[in-house]
Amino acid sequence: MDKITFLQIFSFIFFFFSIISANIDENIIKPSEKFFNFYGRYDFSDKNQIKFDYPGFAIEFSFIGSGFKILLDDGLNDFNVIIDKKLHKIIKTKKGTQIYIGANNLKKKIHNVLITKKTESFEKPSVFKGIILNTDSKILNPPCRPKYKIEFIGDSITVGYGNESRSIKCKDFKNYTNNYFSYASIASRELNAEASIIAISGKGVVRNYGEKSEKSAKPMPYYFNKTLLTSEKPFWNFKRWKPNIVVICLGTNDFSTEPKPSKELFIKEYRKLISTIRGKYGNIKIFIMGSPTLIEPLNTYLEEISKKERIKLITQPKTPENQLGCDWHPNVYAHQQIASILIKELKKYLNNI
């Protein structure tokens, strides 16, 4: 019997994995196909992959069958897998492109799936490359999109930072952060609205948390024109998606530490942000919301802005200590209370459009 050479073994292995790779590629339902709804800002420069990095970004689809897998290139974030409006599992990603089991052994019926970015990251965008259905499953047209559209502009409170913790002390806040249970996501679901969440922990209107100068180089308004927080380009195309409502919840970081911006500077920059929003969306309904963790001087300044801009200010009571999660941020229960106050005000407007 002839000896099997190293080259022959290598050739066989290469051929074997090439077949597997080809079969996987053939079975991938790619992001460019008509079967997905995407919620939030994303870069679609490459039609076979979606890049995104803001928390709460969501991918939605429907299928009939027992299960599916998800192709993600990440390594920094966790994802919620919501099936038929119930949290099915959480995916903790690994570095590089990986195939993750979304679900297996489901009842062979129609299922609606929502995959949401649970956490936030600052190093690079997440990349969605498609799904692979089980052999007994079939993709369907995506669910109908919600009736309304709301854009949220905020900081760590809007992110949902540390909201699943029962303690203010956390070894790893990422494990306890879940945007799906933030006030923004809770309110959107209750109002039958899709959400675009533009939120970054630590950002202020003028000054970011802990920075030495009174005015930061890149506060939250700097990111409003960007598609991705981790990349300077591409700029966001505001014609792609126009909200019915914009909710701004900023100011906590501006006044959390010294040096705090002056009243004049804060009001000037906040009004400039409002002007930028109107410049992009036209005659849009804007609500500004107070912080549940820092009341003064923020509410006083927001009241002045509210009067000058003729827009509604929604104040929030201070979150009690027994409702705080990581690093003094509202926990899930507190987010539900924040959302209920917000919902009451937004309903008044949405019911009349």
Reported as a single tens digit per residue, the pLDDT across 285-312 is 999 999 999 999 999 999 999 999 999 9
Q: How many residues does the chain have?
A: 353
Looking at residue 312, its pLDDT comes to 98
User: Which residues lie below 8 Å from residue 165, measured CB to CB, with a gap of 6+?
Assistant: 173, 176, 325, 326, 331
* Token pair in block for residue 214: 């009174």
Looking at residue 25, its pLDDT comes to 56
pLDDT along the chain (353 residues), means of 10: 46 37 65 98 95 98 98 97 98 97 97 98 96 98 98 98 97 96 98 98 98 97 97 96 98 97 98 98 97 97 98 98 98 98 97 89
* Token pair in block for residue 120: 């936030």
Looking at residue 30, its pLDDT comes to 97
Bridge-partner residues for 115, per DSSP? 59, 81
Reference 108, options 78, 153, 138; nearest CA is 138
- The secondary structure element, H or E, covering residue 119 is none
Cα 90 off chain centre by: 15
Looking at residue 315, its pLDDT comes to 98
CATH topology for 148-350 is: Rossmann fold (3.40.50)
Secondary structure letter of residue 243 according to DSSP: -
Looking at residue 16, its pLDDT comes to 35
The half-sphere exposure of 120 on its side-chain side, counting CA atoms within 13 A, is 26
pLDDT above 70 covers what percent of the chain? 93
Q: Report the predicted TM-score, pTM, of the whole model to 2 decimal places.
A: 0.92
**Farthest CA pair distance, the chain:** 92
Extended strands (E) in 107-169: 109-117, 126-133, 138-140, 148-154
Looking at residue 9, its pLDDT comes to 45
Reference 252, options 294, 296, 302, 215; nearest CA is 294
* Token pair in block for residue 200: 């970054």
What is the CATH architecture assignment of 29-140?
Answer: Sandwich (2.60)
Cα–Cα distance for residue pair 324/243, rounded to 1 Å? 31
The pLDDT mean for the chain works out to 93
Domain ranges, ordered by start, for the chain: 29-140, 148-350
* Token pair in block for residue 327: 């690093």
Bridge-partner residues for 86, per DSSP? 83
Cα–Cα distance for residue pair 239/281, rounded to 1 Å? 8
Looking at residue 27, its pLDDT comes to 86
* Token pair in block for residue 77: 């974030």
Looking at residue 1, its pLDDT comes to 40
Q: Angle CA(173)–CA(228)–CA(50) in degrees, nearest 5?
A: 100
